[in-house]
Structure 1
Amino acid sequence: MSPVTRYALTFPGTPGTQAPQDVVVVERTSASGPGGHPVYEDATGIVRAEISEAGEVRMLASGGHQTPHCPVHAQPLP
Structure 2
Amino acid sequence: MDGTWRYAVTLPGPPGGHGPPQVVIVHATGELTAAGAAVYADGAGTFRVVIEGGAARPLAAPPGPGRHICLHVVPLP
TM-score normalised according to structure 2 size: 0.78
Gaps of 5+ in 2: 63-67
| Cα distance in 1 between the residues matched to 2:6 and 2:37 | 14
| Cα distance in 2 between the residues matched to 1:58 and 1:33 | 12
Work out whether residues 12 and 71 of structure 1, in 8 Å CA contact, stay in contact via their aligned partners in 2.
no
- Name the residue aligned to 1:19: 19
- Name the residue aligned to 1:70: 69
Q: Give the letter aligned to residue 36 of structure 1.
A: G
TM-score normalised according to structure 1 size: 0.77
- Name the residue aligned to 1:37: 37
Gaps of 5+ in 1: 62-66
| Cα distance in 1 between the residues matched to 2:70 and 2:43 | 17
Instruction: Give aligned-pair identity as a percent.
Output: 42
SS in 2 for 1:44: coil
Displacement over 3 Å in runs of 4+: none
| RMSD of equivalent CA atoms | 1.7
